[in-house]
Amino acid sequence: MALASLECLSYWYPLGQAPALTGVDLAIEPGLTLVAGPSGGGKSTLLRVLNGLVPHFHGGRIAGAAAICGLDLVRTPTRRLARHVGFVFQDPERQSVYGLVEREVAFGLENSAVSPAAMPDRVDRALARAGALHLRGRRLATLSGGERQRVAVAAALVLEPEILVLDEPTSQLDPAGTELVAGACRRLAEAGSAVVVAEHRLQPLLSSAARLLLVDEGRVGTGVARLVGLRRPARDRPTLPAWQLRGIAVGPGPEPVLDAVDVAGGAGEVVVLMGPNGGGKTTLLRCLAGLLRPLAGRVERGPGRVAYLPQDPAALLHRPTVREEVELTLRRAGEGEGAGAVLAQLGLAEFAERYPRDLSSGQRQRAALAAVLAGSPAIALLDEPTRGMDGAARRALVGLVEALRGRGTAVVIATHDAELAAEIGDRVLAVEGGRVVEAELAPPPGAVTVEPMLAQVPA
Amino acid sequence: MNGRAVAAWSAACLLGVLLSTNPAYRVLVLAAVLAAVLAGVGWARSRRLLAGLGLALAAAGLLTFATNHLGGDVLFELPAAVPLAGGPWTLESLVYGTSFGIALAAAALAMTPLSLMLETHQVVDALPAPLARTGAVLAASLNLVPSVARSFTAIAEAQRMRGWRPRGPASWGEVVVPAVLTAIEDSIQLAEAMEARAFGSGPRTRYRPPAWSAADGAVAAAAGLSLALLIAARALGLLADWHPYPYLVLPVITPLGVAACLPLFVPAWLWRSPV
């Protein structure tokens, strides 16, 4: 029996001309439902319909009908639907209220006026279902990304909802953290809950999914997953050194996070840094960029500009148009070329005159890439560049990195994305336990793409 | 540790420095607050804060000394044409400014145990039930502060790599504007997350009502005693104000005034061990 049913549902955001969802007919049943599709296609909007954030939190216009756990969507506010639908957001840091795990999990119970005597048992039960019982007494600030996201899952489960919805829950996690969250989702689905997960990286959950939905341009249909093999062209080893770290000890505080680091990279070479969250990848990039002074050792860089892409590049955007963002970088770098080339390369030509923060998250991320990597930097340092990226943005990134490589830019990428490493990396450095060592470059594992099952996509 | 006991002590300290301009009592309260903070928080965690407060104290004293040209004991004089600072600089202004700085430092320091010794939820739990929802919003806002700070640093670094340099207040727009926009987006996301967890759906309960230990009881009792004695001393005229102008005089110290301040030292003894 369907726990949620949407009938010919369309939705327009406030001031939106085009609908974000168009004529959606959907039934959510127990088991794992995966939601795939490009960024800006309507995945997050669809998920927010399931707990009433759309339309109650975001406003706008809605047409059609939806019943969630027997409750009418339009007549039932999110705070009431919350007792039936648990929701986990993308960034664990931006959804926590308290600093202590057990208090954080109990927040929903406090809001629902559950008696204090009943709370500890329910908190324990939720933590156990999310595989996080051992974290009960911990501070959130001391947890890894994967642990924090499991606490967020427990916090959503504590009200014992019939449906659990997760919006890109693993986009910021390393493989270990991803597996922890994916494991929790699998267990819940096997136990009979309805679990709805929107993700760009589908592999960890694909084998357990009961159904796969494809959301694109506001339309929802059934998707078919296909494994696409990746090819890695053979490349020559670079000869000109572009950067070198000699005997580096470095950390954000007085204690080094990384010690005795001796590594180097060449012009036109793509070096990939891999390792767990908190392992020191960002620290190494910041040291190489000159943003973090080493405690010992020497950083050597060749002449030329260093471009640095932070983990959340979209946060940089502040100019009135995408074009002006790119022109600002080029003007500062003293590079004469126009913004058009990089905008075209990233598929942003049609958005060049738009306000960057009005774009969808994927388009915004591409705008930030253009703003940071425009021109011809001598060294490009990219920190988790595929975080939360959809396929189009990812392809744009790969193309841009290849172009930079072709121009002789030394590229260093910190990432958890094994596909990206295998696809464009020349060398992989493992950053873990305070050390940086050469690692084997794995063959490209292939990527999962989702295509519409044409017969079932609404016209 | 019970948030209400700490809040009661903080309130008693605040009242101690606000009820009278007498520098002797202000010094006593500052000493009690300093001892309690060092006992509860430790030197390592509080030294930056203490240094900052020391600077604030010095700045407040200097500002009064430089701009308040009252008093009969002139130490030196600047030409009247100098804006604000022109005129006689007096011993009375210097002492009054120092006393004012001590009161400011004591008041600010009295609130620090609430942030440095308590978890956010303990502060929220200390609020009366009708303010519980406000407390949850406060806790959520406080939880956002570290991520806003991190975001500001990350944006400043990334803009620097794009060639930005801090040159005058206007140049900071390139960092402040995206940081503020990001903070607003984060706040909206948090509000969404709270709504999705039934926040605002009706009356709230508390996970665990705050427990009272013997030490908490002693701190609250000491704060209550101090508050009662302070109010009584004030009502009886035994907590007289002090006026340094036109000539400096010694403050009047009464046994009841001193007795009112002494219980504020109780936490310095009880908070010695790790909390």
Region B175-198: mean pLDDT is: 91
The predicted structure's pLDDT at residue A231: 66
CB A54 within 8 A of CB A66: no
The predicted structure's pLDDT at residue B263: 96
The values of phi and psi at residue A88, to 5°, are -120, 130
Beta bridge partners of A265: A243
Q: How far is B210 from chain A (nearest CA, A)?
A: 12
In whole numbers, what is the pLDDT of chain A averaged over residues? Answer: 88
Tens of pLDDT, residues B45-99: 888 889 988 998 899 889 989 998 888 899 999 998 888 889 999 999 999 999 9
The answer, yes or no, to whether residue B275 has pLDDT greater than 60, is no
Nearest chain A residue to B188 by CA: give it. A94
Peptide bond into B246 cis (omega under 30): yes
Question: Per-residue DSSP letters for A159-192?
Answer: T--SEEEEESTTTT--HHHHHHHHHHHHHHHHTT
In whole numbers, what is the pLDDT of chain B averaged over residues? Answer: 89
Tens of pLDDT, residues A222-269: 888 877 766 666 666 666 789 999 999 998 888 899 999 999 999 999
Tens of pLDDT, residues A89-112: 988 778 888 889 999 999 999 999
Nearest by Cα to A418 from A267, A186, A198, A232: A232
Question: Per-residue DSSP letters for A415-442?
Answer: -S-HHHHHHH-SEEEEEETTEEEEE--P
Dig out the tokens for B211 from the structure. Answer: 């427990």
Tens of pLDDT, residues B18-41: 888 899 999 999 999 999 999 998
Region A163-170: mean pLDDT is: 91
The predicted structure's pLDDT at residue A168: 87
Name which of A45, A80, A111 to mutate to probe chain B: the one with the most chain B Cβ atoms within 10 A of its Cβ: A111
Q: Do B157 and A291 touch (CB under 8 A)?
A: yes
Q: How far apart are CA B126 and CA B128, in angstroms?
A: 7
| Neighbour tally for A24: CB within 10 Å | 25
Burial of A343 (0-12, 13-18, 19+ CB in 10 A): buried
Burial of A87 (0-12, 13-18, 19+ CB in 10 A): buried
The answer for A52, left when phi > 0, alpha when psi is -120 to 50, beta otherwise, is left
Q: How close are the terminal C-alpha atoms of chain B, in Å?
A: 7
Q: How far apart are CA A50 and CA A170, in angstroms?
A: 20
pTM of the model: 0.80
Q: Cα A78 from chain centroid? A: 25
Q: How far is A44 from chain B (nearest CA, A)?
A: 13
Q: Do A100 and B177 touch (CB under 8 A)?
A: no
Nearest by Cα to B160 from A291, A351, A231, A339: A291
Query: Which residue type occupies B206?
Result: R
Q: How far apart are CA B198 and CA A113, in angstroms?
A: 10
Q: How far apart are CA A446 and CA A422, in angstroms?
A: 9
Dig out the tokens for B87 from the structure. Answer: 């005129």
Region A135-157: mean pLDDT is: 87
Nearest chain A residue to B165 by CA: give it. A332
CB B111 within 8 A of CB B3: no
Question: Coil, strand, or helix at residue A283?
Answer: helix
Nearest chain B residue to A47 by CA: give it. B196
The answer, yes or no, to whether residue A279 has pLDDT greater than 90, is no
The predicted structure's pLDDT at residue A102: 94
What count of CB pairs under 8 Å joins A to B?
165
Q: How far apart are CA A403 and CA A386, in angstroms?
A: 17
Q: How far apart are CA A453 and CA A459, in angstroms?
A: 12
The mean-pLDDT minimum among A303-307, A368-372, A440-444, B167-171 falls in A440-444
Tens of pLDDT, residues B105-120: 999 999 988 888 888 8
Burial A344-363 (b: 16+ CB within 10 A, else e): ebbbbeebbebebeebbbbb
The predicted structure's pLDDT at residue A423: 86
The mean-pLDDT minimum among A147-156, B68-77, B142-151 falls in B142-151
Which of B140, B144, B195 has the CB atom closest to A57's CB atom? B195
**Residue numbers in B near A328 (CB within 8 A):** 162
